[in-house]
Structure 1
Amino acid sequence: MTATTRPREAARATGAPRGGRAAVAVWAAAIVAAFAAGWWLRRAGIATEDDLPPLHARARERPLTWELLPAAGLAAAGVAALPVLAGRLPWRALPLAAWAGAALWAVALAASDGTGALTAPLDAPTEYPAGMAQLRPDVLEYLRTFTDRLYAYTTHVRGHPPGPMLVLWALESAGLGGTGWLAAAIIAAGSSAAAAIAITVRCTAGEDAARAAVPFLALAPLAVWVATSMDAFFLGVGAWGTALAAVAARRAGPAAVPAAAGAGILLGSLPYLSYGLLPLLAVPLAVLVRARPRRAVLAAGAAGLAAVPAALTLLGFWWPDGVRATLDTYLISGGSAQRPYWYFLFANLAVLGLLTGPAVAHALPRALGAAGRAARLRAAVPGLGTALPAAAALLGVLALDFSGVTKGEVERIWVPFAAWITVAAAVHRPPARAWLAAQALTALAVQALVLSPW
């Protein structure tokens, strides 16, 4: 590389992405168009399942103002302090700081709805806790008959494998029953993804990229749906499974084997938590393709990956039958299946834009460009370590979107994917406070204007 091209390559790796301004304009226009088209469809009587399409939510009668002051204050502090902490903290402390920041951000946003805001979403009759009475008599019988009795379960239980209910059963068996403990587990798991993703980025792209990503992971707009949607728990499981896989692939000693096995167990549980999480496996696959781990690590990971499917199959739950039964209940439902496919094909991506924010829109052309050049040249290119996870997660979103089984309610479904796409924002040169502020303002605006059931 010549002396004249070296600064140019450095600018490409850390500077403003080409096409970024146009991407932000498209981001804003797509969101406006999605809500405008949703309003028109609802007025025409075509999309009546939701009050505020494309969101499964409704507009607040009175936008939040003073109620959001604590969250706004936290956002201001985060914009000021997070870039400094990300640059100066010892690495061992930084993932914990990212976790704490993400948890505080999610709780502060949810708390603006007042007392009980953290548990209210889980108290709904459509949610998982409402189905616990059917599980308690005999958990093994519940698993054996889960598919046969699917029509008798609550809405969210019908739409998922038995994994989420097993999580509730495990918490209750440990003396942590009730929606309060469940809310704590969801927030802890969902916000911990900021730490897990930072660890993964450090393994795939280096410490500088991980430090640049941390502020955007901690103040991500998707935090609006972390407290308290069960999909935030799914995010944590997938993120830590991927982080363990990245760590195992990087290590050379014997500790790599148990890390790989743990990664396999967590990642193998994803399709048993939600059928829609199967495409999320593209993210750890991309990480492993880049890392090229040893055969022993791959073998341990494969063994762990098979553990949960094998165990639940032996206990009586056959995953393909669950997919088929859930799809049948979906197709005959009077609501979700009747949503217009072509509208949500576009509008679902606009909702993804709300979860990831303008900073990611600005950075995404760089990330996708790096991934595309690497695939074309079959070689590493600058920025590939952050581009691969983001591109893999986006590919998973597109697969689900085109499938037609995610028509609406994707503000929670996209959460496990959106966090990985947020990694693309690491291309902004620190401290990038203007873009970090734009992320926080997006979350505050959504929370102020929209009343979501999650």
Structure 2
Amino acid sequence: MRAGTFVKQHATPLAAAILGVLTVAVGLYEDANGRLLGVPHPPFIGGYNPEATGWLALAIPCFAVAVALVNPLLAKPKALAFAAAIFATTLVLRIVLFAARLGGDFDRTLTVLPRGEGKNEYLPTMAAFEYGPRFVLDRFAELVPALPVHSAGHPPGLILTMHYLGLTTGMRLAWFCLIVGALATPLTYVLAKQLFDERTARIAGVLMVFAPVVLHFGAVSPDAVYLTLGLLAAIPLASGRLVLGGIALAVVVMFAWSELAVGAWAAILVLTRDGFRPALKLGVVCGIAVLGVQALLALTTGWDPIGTFHATHEVYDVGIASRRPYWYWLFGSPTAFFLILGPAISWLAFTRLQQRAPEAFAIFAVILVATVAGFTKAETERIWLFLVPFVCLAAAPLVRRPTLIAATLAVQAIVYELLFDTLW
């Protein structure tokens, strides 16, 4: 292919790559000159700290076997067997990659310790349940200013789940995140089947298995749970089961406000694929469902969604994110997300955007709105984790050599995990 033709056919991913490189260079330059941007190595949240354990001797063969199995998995098993296989592979790879750096301390970032992230996570919130779950729902807006930052930044869905399931220790919560988070891989395959042929749907599932951002932040991060929950809403919405999808979206929004973006993704997808009327219908159904569930909870438990939203916004205003300069993170947030997601996946997704594919337009529109609005400044490798399946959907139709892509993603995941502390 001639150079001019290549540039023309890949103008969008080339422009994104150049902008990404410049963003990284500016961030490191600003940080080196003492202008703090709010993360250890802008635009990435991971802090440089090379470390490895003996588990690395198991992790490398596991990744090698997983890569070798890509083509057989794409070709042979029946749908249910394929879904089970990618779930098991996801779970194994996340466990061994985490252990390759930190050993078996899966609760390291969730347990409250003298040092570490645990004090900002969800477990300290469990003390509020001394007065019962009804009290927590009724007084949540008033509790928000006193809660750890992760609990304060989300509705009470997860902490209620932790209470009812007895997830009161770091290790229990870590395994819950590992298992529930790994379900996102077969669910991505199920979602992709609503849009593509069987092989392309399987490729989307494989991309989710190896996407570095999910391997790094999808192990013991509760954001991995939100990723899986978002797919439970996206699947019925994408397949036209609007009432079921609207109710599912209304429920998962009680875990993370950001899940509203799943409804936006579905509406934009339908708009670009099917036209205005179906998209309007989807939006109306989702709106009624979300508002209806919020109103029902308010009437039956005293839950105050408006007060909670304002309280959360105030916590955000006084937190570190408010001191991160908008001018940099306008570019830094998507750059960090797409680079840690995996350049191979991102390149193909941007190419599909240039081709005006509906599924690519939908996810890039959501990311653009989130970026410009400044909903999130930095830490998008973790916070935008629930958007990863939609990028994989956009990339999957262009994958021609799945084993090669899986291998490049695996190498990136191992190298980055060993060199940078990604916490989760």
For 1:207, the equivalent position in structure 2 comes to 198
For 2:3, the equivalent position in structure 1 comes to none
For 2:247, the equivalent position in structure 1 comes to 265
Shift of residue 349, structure 1, vs aligned partner = 1.2
Distance (Å, rounded) in 1 between the aligned partners of 2:401 and 2:38: 42
Distance (Å, rounded) in 2 between the aligned partners of 1:243 and 1:56: 30
Deviation string for 1:91-119 (max 9, x for gaps)? 22222222222222222211112334321
For 2:30, the equivalent position in structure 1 comes to 41
Q: CA RMSD in A?
A: 3.0
Distance (Å, rounded) in 2 between the aligned partners of 1:298 and 1:409: 29
For 1:107, the equivalent position in structure 2 comes to 95
For 2:303, the equivalent position in structure 1 comes to 317
Shift of residue 273, structure 1, vs aligned partner = 1.6
Secondary structure in 2 matching 1:147: helix
Secondary structure in 2 matching 1:331: helix
For 1:133, the equivalent position in structure 2 comes to 127
Percent same amino acid among aligned pairs? 25
Secondary structure in 1 matching 2:361: helix
Instruction: Give the alignment partner of residue 358 of structure 1, picking from 327, 343, 347.
Output: 343
Contact 1:54 1:347 in 2 (8 A): yes
Distance (Å, rounded) in 2 between the aligned partners of 1:235 and 1:50: 23
Instruction: Give the alignment partner of residue 171 of structure 2, picking from 180, 183, 194.
Output: 180
For 1:376, the equivalent position in structure 2 comes to none
Contact 2:297 2:303 in 1 (8 A): yes
Secondary structure in 2 matching 1:121: coil
Shift of residue 195, structure 1, vs aligned partner = 1.0
For 1:82, the equivalent position in structure 2 comes to 70
Instruction: Give the alignment partner of residue 151 of structure 1, picking from 145, 152, 155.
Output: 145
Shift of residue 165, structure 1, vs aligned partner = 1.4
Distance 1:441 1:139, change over 3 A: same
Instruction: Give the alignment partner of residue 371 of structure 2, picking from 401, 409, 433.
Output: 401
For 1:224, the equivalent position in structure 2 comes to 216
TM-score by length of 1: 0.80
Contact 1:144 1:316 in 2 (8 A): yes
Distance 1:167 1:311, change over 3 A: farther
Contact 2:145 2:315 in 1 (8 A): yes
Distance 1:44 1:301, change over 3 A: closer
Contact 2:55 2:103 in 1 (8 A): no
Structure 2 residue identity aligned to 1:50: V
Distance 1:114 1:65, change over 3 A: closer
TM-score by length of 2: 0.86
For 1:253, the equivalent position in structure 2 comes to none
For 2:108, the equivalent position in structure 1 comes to 120
1:23 lines up with 2:13 in the alignment? yes
For 2:85, the equivalent position in structure 1 comes to 97
Distance (Å, rounded) in 2 between the aligned partners of 1:419 and 1:284: 13
Instruction: Give the alignment partner of residue 428 of structure 1, picking from 382, 389, 398.
Output: 398
Secondary structure in 2 matching 1:122: coil
Structure 2 residue identity aligned to 1:23: P
Distance (Å, rounded) in 2 between the aligned partners of 1:234 and 1:390: 21
Distance 1:282 1:160, change over 3 A: same
For 1:5, the equivalent position in structure 2 comes to none
Shift of residue 389, structure 1, vs aligned partner = 3.6
Which shows bigger deviation, 424-433 or 271-280?
Answer: 424-433
1:68 lines up with 2:56 in the alignment? yes
Shift of residue 184, structure 1, vs aligned partner = 1.9
Distance 1:18 1:67, change over 3 A: farther
1:240 lines up with 2:232 in the alignment? yes
Secondary structure in 2 matching 1:149: helix
Distance (Å, rounded) in 1 between the aligned partners of 2:37 and 2:328: 13
Distance (Å, rounded) in 1 between the aligned partners of 2:418 and 2:23: 19
Distance 1:420 1:135, change over 3 A: same
Distance 1:21 1:82, change over 3 A: farther
Distance (Å, rounded) in 1 between the aligned partners of 2:417 and 2:410: 11
Distance (Å, rounded) in 1 between the aligned partners of 2:265 and 2:93: 25
Shift of residue 427, structure 1, vs aligned partner = 2.3
Distance 1:218 1:47, change over 3 A: same
For 1:419, the equivalent position in structure 2 comes to 389
Distance (Å, rounded) in 2 between the aligned partners of 1:301 and 1:42: 43
For 2:326, the equivalent position in structure 1 comes to 341
1:330 lines up with 2:313 in the alignment? no
Shift of residue 453, structure 1, vs aligned partner = 2.5
Contact 2:63 2:93 in 1 (8 A): yes
Contact 1:279 1:399 in 2 (8 A): no
Structure 2 residue identity aligned to 1:105: L
